[in-house]
Amino acid sequence: MKLTQFLSAALTLAALQTNAQITDPKATEVWEPEPRIVTPGDDNRAPSDAIILFDGKNTTEWVSSKDSKAAAPWTVNSDGSITVKPGAGDIQTARSFGDCQLHIEFRAPEVVKGEGQGRGNSGVFLQERYEVQVLDCYGNRTYSNGQTGSIYKQSIPLVNACRKPGAWQTYDILYTAPRFNNDGIQVSQGRVTVLHNGIVIQLNTEIKGTSEYIGLPKVSAHGKAPIRLQDHGDLVSYRNIWIREL
């Protein structure tokens, strides 16, 4: 038996002996630390500890991706949504984020125009790099690793949970950022879980690298970075966007 095997066996035996000596159920109760209280929101609204990224009116949390000093160039509507302004470019959060829980609602145009990737295309980029695809895939076939809720060209969603064009839909995204050491080497991959309209479509999916239209994902070190929303030329709208840092 190798030393490491011996030590492992000895530790297991010690744990069993210790466990056998525990007779009081209170001995295994852990009281500290106590999780802090968060008040949940109603109807998908932000819980008490969330950063509200878009409340229906205010776009101060957003900037243009072309020029981070310029205001978000998209159209704010009277119904509390914000719509892509085709050609104006992507928008992104003024703040940077790492691990997070993100809630975002989106709507493809009710009047269907185009097909495949040309129908209700936008995207939620985590840390500016990793795209959770936004697309209208209700009765609209495209490549599976590019459909609604794919990690674009990396991971096919488990199911197609799309609502009809014109209907509001939700993404709840749980994201663990990749880790890099001081030499810039990735020591753990990013991971993402996505619920589309409350249905799990990505479960702890490993992120391979950046979302690339052509070619393979790239890996390079980065720190916290903004959430980016894509202008793909379609009139996709967003509303009720909030984030909790984890």
Binding site for Mg ion (CB under 5 A): 121, 123, 230
Q: Which is nearer to Mg ion, 100 or 124 (CB)?
A: 124
The CA-atom distances, in angstroms, between 185 and each of 98, 124, 137, 206 are: 17, 25, 37, 17
CA distance 87 to 231: 7
Segments of the chain assigned E as strands: 51-54, 62-64, 75-76, 82-83, 91-93, 100-107, 122-126, 130-134, 169-176, 179-180, 186-188, 190-196, 199-207, 228-229, 237-245
Query: Which among 192, 201, 82 has a CA at the least distance from the CA of 130?
Result: 192
Q: Which is nearer to Mg ion, 123 or 190 (CB)?
A: 123
* Nearest distance from C-beta of residue 68 to Mg ion, angstroms: 21
Rounded to 5 degrees, what angle do the CA atoms 93, 135, 50 make?
35
Q: Which is nearer to Mg ion, 61 or 131 (CB)?
A: 131
* Nearest distance from C-beta of residue 155 to Mg ion, angstroms: 14
Q: Which is nearer to Mg ion, 98 or 123 (CB)?
A: 123
* Nearest distance from C-beta of residue 135 to Mg ion, angstroms: 6
CA distance 67 to 92: 10
* Nearest distance from C-beta of residue 2 to Mg ion, angstroms: 52
Q: Which is nearer to Mg ion, 89 or 123 (CB)?
A: 123
DSSP 34: P
Q: Which is nearer to Mg ion, 81 or 133 (CB)?
A: 133
* Nearest distance from C-beta of residue 136 to Mg ion, angstroms: 11
* Nearest distance from C-beta of residue 146 to Mg ion, angstroms: 8
The CA-atom distances, in angstroms, between 64 and each of 87, 122, 124, 146 are: 12, 15, 15, 25
Q: Which is nearer to Mg ion, 123 or 157 (CB)?
A: 123
Phi, psi of 164 (to 5 degrees): -60, 150
